[in-house]
Chain A
Amino acid sequence: MIERRPTRSSLQIMRDTVYALFIRELRTRFGGSRLGYFWAIAEPAGQAAVLTTIFSLMGRTSLSGVEIPVLMLVGLVPFKLFTKLISQLSNAVLSNKGLMAYRQVEPIDPIITRLLIELATMAIVFVTLMFSMYWFLGYKVTPVSLPGVLLAIFLLMALAVGIALILCVLFEYFPDMSKVVGVIMTPMMIVSGVFFSASMVPTQYWGLLDWNPAFHCLELIRESYFYGYDPGFSSLEFVVKVVIIADFIGMLLFVSYRTKLVSS
């Protein structure tokens, strides 16, 4: 008589599947060599360090008591998470299509997997960089309000998830869209205020920037991070509204097209 495995609830199946995908994703992304895991952290950390150095050299060394490199990193790392989430999550279903042949693997599973991987990477990169700035350079790196920072990062993440879910469905029908998205994302780093804040921009130009919820989020993060930071035009209410709309449309599309995302 064959001994049967116990029946699992759909939540347990999802957990098992996400775990399997997680390991698989880590292996294919970093598993080429033992150095893979090192590069997973070192690559984004290096990018952040280089960009921060360049922009720090261009400007002053401190702004109302905040060291410029700290200011830069606090904007740059969450912004990298934002763009990385959009590109990784929007392609998650397409690049795992072969595995949808198993009934256990649902389209949402690779999305959850990649979300966990990107969040974990970002957290490690951020803490590592901040800690080294404190340890080696003696900068003050602790945020004024940690809950405020986490809330703003959460909103930025939720925004990226909403956009990515919409793109998932669009890519399925219009694969060329990915190129359009690439073109749009290129200037995002500049118009999202990674290296400057709204208060540095004359108020008559705010209309060019205040449509961008990512800019708002970065300002909210810095407002909670630094004492006395002027958040310019940023508005929590605006961000929350955009996030709700984006996530609502994203989930609606994703759920309605779920069965089509499965078939190859």
Chain B
Amino acid sequence: MIRLENISKWYPTKSGRHYIFKNIDFQIPMDKNIGVLGRNGAGKSTFIRMLGGSEYPSSGNIISDLRISWPLGLQGGIQGSMTGRENARFVARIHGIKNTCQMEAKVEEFAEIGSYFDEPMKSYSSGMRSRVLLGITIALDFDFDVLLIDEITAVGDAKFKNKAATLLKKRFASTRIVMVNHSISQLKNFCSAGLVIHNGGLKYFENIDDAISYYGNAS
């Protein structure tokens, strides 16, 4: 379970504070995979970044004793000037892994991007980036209770998507995911519960179909 205690999140704009969330108390049960729905700009990515500790709420606390991954997305967490291998090593080291060779090999094997693995990541296509990023989490052996996924499975070719889906599903027994994705079919494929972000509020649905129809009516 992840508890949001009276959190607010705002960004400064020219016309004053723009609130994404205001004084929200909420409990997210983490017994199911959750698909996050919301319009563009509703705060889906902000929400997932706050869960992942990449960003702090403006006030309030997020409390959980689960191991939550960083948000696997197309932005952030990657240093473009470093190669895929160096990024993999970096992530291994901050997670306390001393011997990084094994980890590098696993990422290389999963990513299947050949010699590009030793090129700076700024030269990668978005598909290649997501291959490496997903490879890194898989190489960490899914040492997380909760995996945060921000659109990462939305890019890449069909073969990669299949591979990612198979792997993610295989791990469902021990790992829950929270996923942002604009493709409803992708969400339905991975998630059984839904969370709708609408007008600065959160609404949780046990069934993803209810969330989808609520979201359809609300927007």
With contacts A16-B94, A17-B94 taken as known, whether A98 is within 8 angstroms of B77 at the C-beta atoms is yes
Restricting to A94-121, which residues have a CB under 8 Å from any CB of B?
98-105
Find chain A residues with CB under 8 A from B174 CB. Answer: 2
Q: Contacting chain A: which of B27-35, B49-57, B182-190, B207-215?
A: B49-57
For chain B, the bracket of interface size reads 20 to 34
**Which residue of B49, B53, B77, B143 is within 8 Å of A5 (Cβ)?**
B143
B93 sits at the interface (CB 8 A)? yes
Q: State whether the Cβ of B177 lies closer than 8 Å to any Cβ in chain A.
A: no
8 A Cβ contacts from B59-85 to A: 68, 70-71, 76-82
* Residues of chain A having any CB pair with chain B under 8 Å: 2-5, 8, 12-13, 16-17, 19-20, 23-24, 27-28, 98-105, 259, 262-264
User: Residue among A2, A3, A13 with the most chain B CB within 10 A?
Assistant: A2
CB contact between A262 and one of B56, B71, B89, B93 (< 8 Å): that residue: B56
Q: How far is the CA of A4 from the CA of B97 in the complex (A)?
A: 12
- Beyond A12-B96, A105-B94, A263-B55: 17 further Cβ-contacts under 8 Å? A2-B142, A3-B141, A8-B96, A16-B96, A20-B89, A20-B93, A23-B93, A27-B82, A98-B76, A98-B79, A99-B77, A101-B76, A102-B77, A102-B94, A103-B53, A103-B54, A264-B76
Chain B interface main SS type: loop
Which B residues are in CB contact (< 8 Å) with A103?
52-54, 68, 70
- Decide if A2 touches B52 in the complex (CB within 8 Å): no
B96→A5 contact, CB < 8 A: yes
For B93, the closest partner residue in chain A by CB is A20
Shortest distance in angstroms between B85's beta carbon and chain A's nearest beta carbon?
A: 11
- Kindly state the separation between the CA atoms of A103 and B144 in the bound complex, as whole angstroms: 13
CA distance A99 to B80 in the complex (A): 11
Q: Once the chains are docked, how many angstroms separate the CA of A5 from the CA of B90?
A: 17
A24-B82, A28-B81, A101-B71 given as contacts; is B93 within 8 A of A19 (CB)? Answer: yes
